Amino acid sequence: MSIWKFRNWVIDPDFPRQEQLENLRYYKYAATDKSLLTKYVLRHYWNWAVTLFPTWMAPNLITLTGLVLMMFSVAVILTYVPDLLYSDETPRWIYFCFAASLWLYSTLDNVDGKQARRTGTSSPLGELFDHGCDAINCTFVALLQAAALGLGHSGDAGILLLVTVVGFYLSTAEEYYTGVLYLGIVNGPTEGILVSCLAFVWSGIFGAASWHIPLRDISLLSGIAEYLPENANFAKVFVWGMVFFFLTTHLPFCIHSIYSASSSEPVKRRLAIFVNVLYPIVLYTAAVSLWMWSPYSIIFDQEHYILFSLAAGIMFGMMASNIILAHLTLSPFPSFTGILGSLWLMALLVGIVPSILGKRILAPEAEHLAIWIYCIIAVVVYSIWASMVIDGFCRFLGIRCLVISHAEQRPVPSSSSTLPEQAQEQDSLLQAQEEGAGSSSNNNSRNGGPSYSTF
């Protein structure tokens, strides 16, 4: 079977449809970042960092470079600490490698948009490519955190994965309904990444074992330890802290934003919106949890969590990318039937039915093979989907994904000394636009026609 015939068998050959691509004409980026760290520190750092890149370098290539750095760190995990545990034999430099790759990813993730404005090559493909890489990176970050904290193939590592992907999903769904990417005063892409980088540096200096010192053994914390579970240590505090900040600083604000964006809708329509948003991620989380934490699963017991998280993470990346595509093309919110159906099939075979029967349905070898097959299928399907979307966007917009053509590039000042000033001026204009867009919604665009009020 040829590659083209296989693509046609997996995905509609007319995807993305022409009417979807036509809606790209109404695209205009809108984002709001309320982080004080961004405003007073990182914005100036990013304005300087973008000047290090030549103006012929495509913004999407910068984004992809950051993702490759994170993939390198995952390869380091597989090479030096595949059990995700801590030991005296684990080289300390790998944790500094984690910190460097995540920090550079964050830098490049923020520089790519500045490079696009600097070279006059901003496009909806850039937003799709950027957020699609971010969605895949959620799994990589969770794996780096698990390795740096020495969590092993455990439930705590699974919690970090779910908190990361659910948080990203809600932000993406919020952007779909409000038309604005909103980052609060404390947010994952800024403060969350900084905390993770500091945690990696700590592991590099003191070792991952330092995270597992019981709090009750530290005199300064013995009073607090009395109110915590007996096995409480710094690694547990990190995981619980992630859950706490997700529940208090992220989840309620995303729900409130979606509610506000749909406040003008009838009650039934508003209820339908919340069902559309919540049921996919609830079903995804439930299926992943049933599969991971089933007493009949081999994911933790036989240390297959890394493979499983990569498979489930790629499927999540496809879910998030579909939402972004729907946002850019003013399409209905995706249903994710195939992704959720495949996950629930495995949840039934590994988690639910064995619990009812009191015995395994799949032998350990069969489940291991199933995880491998699931991971390979996820990579293949997502690669085909992404290639078709990128190809459709490039043909319609007349651009190339990883190369800046002379036709699309606008002139930039020849003097490198003026570049930081121009970048800052463009960011000021964008910030003014973002602040104006922060309170607007995109309801009309989801009811048949494009809405200009969002922008």
User: Comparing C-alpha atoms, which of 234, 86, 82, 241 is closest to residue 150?
Assistant: 86
For residues 309 and 143, the answer to whether their CB atoms sit within 8 Å is yes
Strand partners of residue 31:
181
Residue 233 gets which letter from DSSP? B
**Could you give the C-alpha distances from 185 to 191, 345, 377, in angstroms and in order?**
9, 40, 39
Nearest to 43 by CA among 104, 100, 120, 111: 111
What are the residues whose beta carbons fall under 8 Å from the beta carbon of 350, sequence distance 6 or more? Answer: 290, 291, 294, 296, 297, 361, 362, 367
Query: What's the length of the chain?
Result: 455
* Catalytic annotation, pick one of 131, 153, 250, 327: 131
In angstroms, rounded to a whole number, what is the distance separating the alpha carbons of residues 76 and 97?
Answer: 9
308 three-class SS? helix
C-alpha–C-alpha distance, residues 282 and 277, integer Å: 9
What's the maximum distance between 2 C-alpha atoms anywhere in the chain? 73
Q: Where are the alpha helices (DSSP H) in 120-250?
A: 124-148, 155-178, 193-206, 222-225, 234-245
Q: Which tokens hold the place of 258?
A: 């979606």
Taking CA atoms, 16 is separated from 37, 139, 148, 314, 331, in Å, by 39, 26, 40, 20, 11
What sign results for the dihedral spanned by CA atoms 276, 277, 280, 286? negative
Q: What are phi and psi of 233, to 5 degrees?
A: -140, -175
Residue 131 annotated as catalytic: yes
**Is the sign of the CA dihedral 378, 379, 380, 382 positive or negative?**
positive
User: Annotated catalytic sites, by residue?
Assistant: 131
